Amino acid sequence: MSDEDPDFESALAELETLVANMETGEFTLEQSLVAFERGVELTRQCRDALEQAELRVRALMPDGTEVPIDDVDTDSEG
């Protein structure tokens, strides 16, 4: 990711807005192509960010094992 790339949340928000705008059907063919190209770019940025986050989480696991989602304590109280 370069210095100009948005963070994950910004990229995802832009992608969601872009998709919503494309779904209106009001874009010209050229606008649709430009939007599609940007959407592909944003999708790749989001995927890369998620892959990096996964690697960081795996690095924190002491033996490299995965924790089943059912075993994760999601209770914020404690």
Tens-digit pLDDT profile for residues 5-38: 789 999 999 999 999 999 999 999 999 999 999 9
Residue 77, in any domain of the structure: no
Asked if the structure places residue 25 within a domain, the reply is yes
Task: Give 34's Cβ-side CA count (13 Å radius).
Answer: 6
What's 5-69 look like in SS3?
CCCHHHHHHHHHHHHHHHHCCCCCHHHHHHHHHHHHHHHHHHHHHHHHHHHHHHHHCCCCCCCCH
pLDDT tens digits, residue range 29-78?
A: 999 999 999 999 999 999 999 999 988 888 887 776 666 656 555 554 54
User: Total structural domains in the chain?
Assistant: 1
Q: Is residue 76 part of a domain?
A: no
Tokens 């304590």 belong to residue: 73
Report if residue 46 sits inside a domain: yes
CATH code for the domain of 41: 1.10.287.1040
For residue 70, being part of any structural domain is answered with no
What is the extent of the structural domain holding 41?
Answer: 8-63
